[in-house]
Structures are given as structure tokens and as C-alpha cells.
Amino acid sequence: MMRSARLLAAVLGLLAGIQPLQAQQGEVGGVVVDSKTGQPLVRVQVVTEGGIGSTTDNRGRFRIGNLTGTQVAVNVALIGYRPLRATLNVGNLEARLELSEMAVNLGEIVVTGTVAGAEKRTLGNSISTVRAAEVQELAPSLDMSNLINSRAPGVVVIPGTGQVGSAPRIKIRGTNSFSLSDQPLIYIDGVRVANDVATGISVQGFGSGIAGRLNDIDPDNIESIEILKGPAASTLYGTEAANGVVQIITKRGRIGDRPEIKFGARFGTQWFMNPEGRIVEPVDKVNGVLTSWNPVTSEESFGNKLFKNGFGQGYSLSIGGGQQAYNYYAGVTYDYDKGIEPTNSAKRITGTVNLGITPGSTYDIQTSLSFVKSDVQQAFEAGAGGIWFSTIFGDPKLVDTPYRGFLFGPPEYQWGSRQPSQKINRYTASVTVNHRPASWFSHRLVVGLDQTDEGSEQLNRYLPPEWVQFNPGTAALGLKYSQKRTIQYNTFDYNASARADLTSSWKSTTSVGGQIYRRRTDLVWAQGDQFPAPDLETIAATAVRIGYDDYVENTTVGVFGQQQFGYKDRLYVTAALRVDNNSAFGEDFSFVAYPKVSSSYVWTEGAAGWLNTLKLRAAYGQSGQQPEAFAALRSYAPVTGGDGGPAVIPSFVGNPDLAPERSSEIEAGFEAGLFGDRVAVDFTYYYQNTKDAILLLPVAPSTGFPGNQYTNIGAIRNHGFEIQVNGQAVNSDNFGLNLNVSASHNTNEVTDLGEGVTTLGTFGPKLGYPVDAVFRRKVVSAELNEQGRAINIQCDDDKGGSTPNCATAPAVYLGVFDPRWEGAFSATATLWKRLRIYGLMDFKLGNKHIDNNRRALCQVFLRCDENFNPQNYDPLMIAEIQLNNVAQSWVTNDAGFLKLRELSANYMVPRSIAGFLGGRDATIGITARNLATITNWSGLDPESYFVTQLFTRLEQDNTPQLASVMFNLNISF
């Protein structure tokens, strides 16, 4: 018994000794999430104080083994987030660690044109970053317009029309050219891509297509967007970069991540809100009685709905991940959306495949291939036809006729007789080779191709007998326009950087590089008139056919060198020089040089108190705008000679000395983190000068050439500021609130039009005024006689007085076309770490547009109440109406607005429910857009217009911006 007792005691003692040993081999694990959104964070370093660590995977999960004791302290770190120290119980494998985003992240890497990008702390210029992947989770967007709009101060998005498939224009920091493009350069993964706007077929000499290349890009496959806003930031991109640079970085898998599959679906509707209250009712006398006509309610009385809700749907599928030597990402999306008119729809299939290979520690190869295939069926908006034209300018006298009140015919005729469309086949491919042969030296080669095959058409069908009355004669036989355009961009970009530690405090980075960009556009255009029978829809089937083909090539060759010195990781000074040549320069002009110098100073970082981070910055830089492709060349036009053979006549004089426009910019600002790094402030002031601006000036008859000549003679000044403030207003366990406010202001002025020249015409541009100024003649006094006719009319003489001769009166300054102020306010509330509610309001102020709907209704068709009851209105306005387009201040109206742009709610489904659906994580949500607009604009919508020139904003029979609601479901596996 004693021996048995001693043996039992020994065994118990041995077991007691084993228990601590088992604890020594314990583990901890769990998930790391964003404290604001509750979303898992990948690539987070979780390290114990003993140096044992782990990195979170693509689910945000981590696990650390070989631990001793009952508790362990871990340090959690991720660039852009405040470090966290937490104590975990050994054995707990379901820990939840929450990281709070830093207000100012100076360690963020951004694209700058050099090999490996640069940390924000080193930059002397501002860069706006749109975290596209996060935006898509918060308020999913179908296109780039909604993705960028109001998320980068100083960047104005001009949507133009509410049709599905339409594309925006983007304007950054105002206008700096009289005649050249105002669009920024677009790069996707380092490759320059086409960014043409207002593409398609222009008919009847009025307006152009609504499509554009920016909306070929699928937001679901974008990781982030970086925007360089002016010459101070875009110098290394050289000629064509004066309007800014937009860098789009697509999604990529991460090395070491297990495969993650994501599926998304969305469906919803869009509609024209309150059409019966927003369309101005035409009036006319019917049987001697003044009668108004409301097209919406009138059609309802016939059992028809004029504008229907358009249904939209989309589906996406992606997979991403990686192993030690490679990473991959592949995503495909299908979208099909219908507008409020039966002829307006947009189908799009996009795909992206990114593959990265890392054969060794010294180099890697990144490849990217994306494609888009789209078909946009447009509603007719040529400025002189279509349902909007016939609706806005309808006639009550036509209600009891087959026209049913519509000017050119009822809706079914408008939609059934004509169909504009555009089909796109596009692919973008790139290969990037990064080589790091030494710790101090690295270089990179990017080779890429972006090719777009663009087919634009307009079909006017052979009319059935019942429709011939609406368009009689040969027009009833129909016609077809067809334009095939291939746009090809080739990119060759080499960069190298060498780094050196000069002393323990001073570091040096030297970068050099060279680029070749080549664009070729091939064009085939054809027109056929008069189909011999119905149901024929090819040009080959028409009786009269004409056509031509052409091509244009443009090449830019540039090199740059940049030197940067850094002192104690706080002070950075950078100097660079870019030298370019372009095939559009005149033959007597060869190279152009663009210098740059910048500095940044990190005053404090990670400090306690109210001021936690402060970076001061300043930069000066230059970049340019190349002339039009043939602006420098003397050309001749082909004609038929007197003998019936081919001959030529002088066509365009050209300019062998033509140089690029040159824009220089000084910008200064700061980035600050305040109040425990919960509030971020980013402020920038900029001052731009454009010289050698290209103007079209008359050619002396003695040259033997007609028309005008492009000449470097003008100058424009731009200046303004941008500010953005965001921060965590509340951050508790069950409720979080993040606020974001941004605003920008821009002013520009024409400072030179050539020696002795103060204006280029009655309506500008004019010296001393904004380049986008609105000049119109203005009535300043008038009276109405008993018959309602304006008498004693006096117009502004622009000298503080008036003149009775309005036809020869000068046009006076009324305002500007582009907004002087723009900004946004957004709020994101997070409840119980699962429900996120988001709202965005934006505004644009200080601009005017031309209400051409109102002008034509009152002056061309004479169907305004003002035409019949002038005594009820301001005599000044009546005088301008009766002057019939001599004075137009009455339709040059305030187009500022405040709009509830986005409202969304997203709920992160518990994993138990997501598992029931077959996934790991799931989110359901709803997003609404354009629900309310506060404006004094006299037309349908202050964003409903097209650009007739580089500046003019004119609303005429355009689809207004539509309200929409979309439901979405996202599941990851």
C-alpha cells in the first residue's frame, strides 16, 4: 500500500509538472479589423514582446504558437493605422483586435513616376487618393464618374447627361488653355490609356456623342486612384500633363494569401424624379383660349407613361491570392442597365487578370491584362430632335392630332425611327519588370498597350406609312452614319533609382528615366442615304453612299533626371528636369524642358497632445500641353481640277515655330493630424501661369492661305486653394461616426492675348477676365406699351452707362461657366460594428449656364407665357425676349447647387448566416443617388448640359441627372 501510494503520488506529481509544460506550448489567435468599418485587415504584423510574430491573411486572421505563461502581450502594426498593444490570454484563438486609422499617414506609398513610388513624407506637392475598393464597399458605383466625384478637392466632375452609358469630363484646378483639351492624363498600372470625351457621331452640326472612354473602366477591379493635380506635381509626366494626371491602380493578389473568391450582385432602378413638375409647360392659344400642355399628365390621359423606370443589374466574380513566388487576381463583371427611355441601355462585360511572379529576391515581373466589351444604345440627343426636343418644345394645338402635342411626333415615333449607338472592344495590357541588383540600386521597365475599337452609328430607319407624316419626303426613306475608330496607345517607360547614405543623417536618391508614348488613331467614316425598302439597316443597302478613311499619329519622347536629399527622415529637398519632344511641335521647334523643385518638412510625427503630426510642403514645377496633331503643318485640300483631274488648293497655313503651351505652378500647404490623431487636415494653395497659350489668329491674305493660324501668344493665370478635413467624431464600442468636409476655390484670368489685343471677339475671351467668362448683351432699362411691346430699350454699354442700339452694344461680363467653389460633406456612422450608414452631399457654386431650352421656347417657338402675358413680367426680360437673341442675359442663369448625392446602408451579415449561404463573409446593402437638389437654376437640372466649346455649358434637350436606388449583395468564400 505504501509503495502504491508513493507511486500514485509520483504520477500525480509528474502530471502536475506536465501541466505548466503544456501551457508553455500554448497559442493565441484571432482577427484584426478596422475599428471604423469592422472589415478584416490583411498584412497586419502581430508580434509578441519576445519577437514571435504572425501576419494576418486575407481574412484578417492570425495565429501565434510556442507561447509560455497564461498571458502574452502583442504589438499590432499596419502602415496607416495607429499601433496597438494588447494583452491576450494564452489559448484564446478568437481574439478581436481593432486598429484605428491614422489621421495622417506619412508612410503611405504613392505613384510619382519614379521606380518604387515614394512615401508621402518625401513629397513637396499634394496628391489626392481615392480608395476605390473602400468606396465600392460603402456606396457601390457603376462608373468612374460617381467614384471620383466629390472625393478629391479641386477635381470637378462634369457628368453632362443622365443617360445610362454616358461618360463625364474631369477638370482639375480650373482652366489653363484657350483651345486645347482640358482633360487629365489617365494611366492604368503605369500605362497611358485613351481618355477621349464626348465621342460618337455628331449629327446636324449640333452637339456630339455622350459616350467616353473613362467609363470603360470597371470600378470593381480598382484598388485605388491617385490624382496629381497640377504642373508642380506632374512635371515628370511632361508634355500633356498640365491638366493633371490620374493614376489608376488595379487590384492584385497578395503573396502568402490563401485563395479568396468574391461574388457580388446588384439590382435596382433609376427614374426622372417629378417630371410633371420640372418640365416647363408650353402654352399656346387653342380656339382662342390660352392653353398649357403638360406632356407627362397628357400622356397619362392616353394611358401612356412618358418616362419609365429603368432597371439595372450587375454581377461580379473575382479570385485573388498568392504563394511565395507568385500572386494573382482575376475579376469579371457583367452590367446591364436601362434608362428611362426604351432606346437607352448599356451592356458591359469587363475583365481583369493580374499576375505577379517573383522568381528571386532581386526581381519580379508584374503582368496585367484587362478587357471591356460594351454596347451603349443612346436616346437621340443631337440638340435638334428626339423625345426631349419634342417634349420641351411641344404645342398644345397638336394635342388632338396624331402628334399628341409633341413637336416632331409622338414618343413611339421618336424612339422607333432613330437609334444612335456605340460599341466598344477594348483591351489594355502591360508588363512591368522590377529589378533590384543591389541594395542601393533598382530599376524598372514598363511596356504596355491600350487599344480601343470604337464603332459609333446612327440609324434613321425607313419609316412605316403611319409615321411618314412626321418626316415626309426623302427623309422618310432613312439613312445611316457609321464611324469606326481605332485608338492605340503604346507605352515604353524605363526608370532607375540609386540610393546612398551620405552620412548618418543625410540620404540621397537619384532617379533617371525615359519614356516613349505613341498614339495612333485610325478612322473610317461612311454615310448612306435612302433605303429602298423597310427593315434594311446597312449602308450597302442605301441608294446614295459616301465615305472616307484617315489616320493620325502622335509620338512623345522624353527623359528626366531627379535628385532628392533627405535629412534625418524629416527634411526632403527634390529637384528634377524633364525634357520632351513631340511630333506635333513645329519643325523649327525641337525640345522643351520642364524643371521642378520641391521640399517637405515633417515638423512632428506621433507626438502627444493636440498636434500629433505636421508636415509642411512647397513645390514649383512646369509641364505642358502639346498642340493639335496637324496645327504646325502646312496643308492642301484635294479638289477636282479644271480638266477633271485631281488638284490641290491651299487649305491651312501651319506654323513651323509652333511650341507647346507651358504651365508653371507654385503650390504650398500642410498636412496635420490633430487631437490624438483623430482629425486630419490637408490644405493647399496653388498659383499657376500658362504662357505660350495657343490661339487661332487670322492669316494675312497675302500668304495665299485662307482661315486662321495656330500661334503661341496667349497667357492665363489660375490660383486657388483646396482643403479637406476628416476625422473620428465618435469611436465607441457600439457606435462610430466619421466626418469628412472638403472645399476648393479657383479663380482664373486672361493675362495676355498678344500685343495690343484686348479681346478675340464680342463674346470673348477678353483680357483681364476669366478665360471661361460669360459675355452677353444686357438690357438695363425698358418700358412696356399697352400692347405689351418693349419700348425705350437701353442696353449696357460696359462703361457704366447705356446705349439705345442694342445690336451693336458690347457684350458685358455676367459670370463664369465653371464653378468657382466646389466641395462636399460626408458622414459615415457605424453601429454595432456591423451596420454602416453613409451620406454624401456636394455643392458647386459661383457658375452660370445657358438655359437654351428656355431661350428656344420663348424666342423660336413663341410658346412661353411671357409671349402672351408680357405685362406680368419684368420689362427687362420681356425686352430681351423680344429683341430675339440680341441680348441673352435673361437665359444666363445661376447654376450653383447643393445635392444629396449618395445615401447608403450596408450590413455585415453574421458568419453563421453567411455560412448558411455557403460563404465566409457577406454584406447586403442599399445605395441611393441624386435624391434631392437645392438650386436656383431655371432649367431641368444644373448638371444637365453639354459642352459646345471648351468652356460653354448649355442645356438643350438633355436627359437630366436621374435618381436611383440599388440593392447589392457581396459574399466572399
Going from the first residue of the chain to its last (973 residues), give the mean pLDDT of each consecutive group of 10, the final group possibly shorter.
44 39 66 81 84 82 87 85 86 88 80 80 92 90 88 87 88 89 92 88 55 89 92 89 93 84 95 93 95 95 93 96 90 96 95 93 93 92 75 95 95 93 96 93 96 94 96 94 95 95 95 95 95 95 94 93 95 96 86 95 90 95 88 80 79 86 96 91 97 86 82 94 93 89 96 91 91 95 95 95 95 95 96 93 95 94 96 96 94 96 95 82 94 94 73 83 96 91
Q: Are 78 and 43 in contact (CB under 8 A)?
A: yes
Q: Are 176 and 716 in contact (CB under 8 A)?
A: yes
CA gap 390, 379 in Å, rounded: 13
Residue 157 grid cell: 466632375
Within 530-645, strands assigned E span: 544-567, 571-582, 592-604, 611-625, 635-640
Identify the pLDDT of residue 947: 63
Start-to-end CA span in the chain (Å): 61
Widest pairwise Cα distance in the chain:
136
Cell 431655371 sits on residue: 938
Q: C-alpha 304: how far from its chain's center? A: 37
Residue 238 grid cell: 511632361
CA gap 138, 128 in Å, rounded: 19
Cell 493665370 sits on residue: 717
Amino acid at 125: N
- The pTM (predicted TM-score) of the whole model is 0.89
Residue 116 grid cell: 518604387
Q: Are 697 and 713 in contact (CB under 8 A)?
A: yes
Helix or strand (DSSP H, E) at 298: helix 295-301
**Integer angstrom CA distances of residue 366 from 193, 428, 445, 446, 511:** 18, 14, 10, 9, 21
Contacts of residue 602, defined as CB under 8 A and 6 or more positions apart, other chains included, come to 106, 121, 569, 570, 571, 613, 614, 615
ω into residue 765 within 30 of 0, thus cis? yes
Q: Name which of 61, 173, 62 is nearest 972 in CA terms.
A: 61
Sheet holding 84-89, edge to edge: 53-55, 45-48, 71-77, 84-89
Identify the pLDDT of residue 502: 95
DSSP 889: G
Neighbours of 934 (CB within 10 A): 11
Q: Are 199 and 453 in contact (CB under 8 A)?
A: no
CA gap 328, 225 in Å, rounded: 20
Neighbours of 630 (CB within 10 A): 14
Contacts of residue 658, defined as CB under 8 A and 6 or more positions apart, other chains included, come to 584, 585, 586, 589, 627, 631, 632, 694, 710, 711, 712
Residue 721 grid cell: 486653394
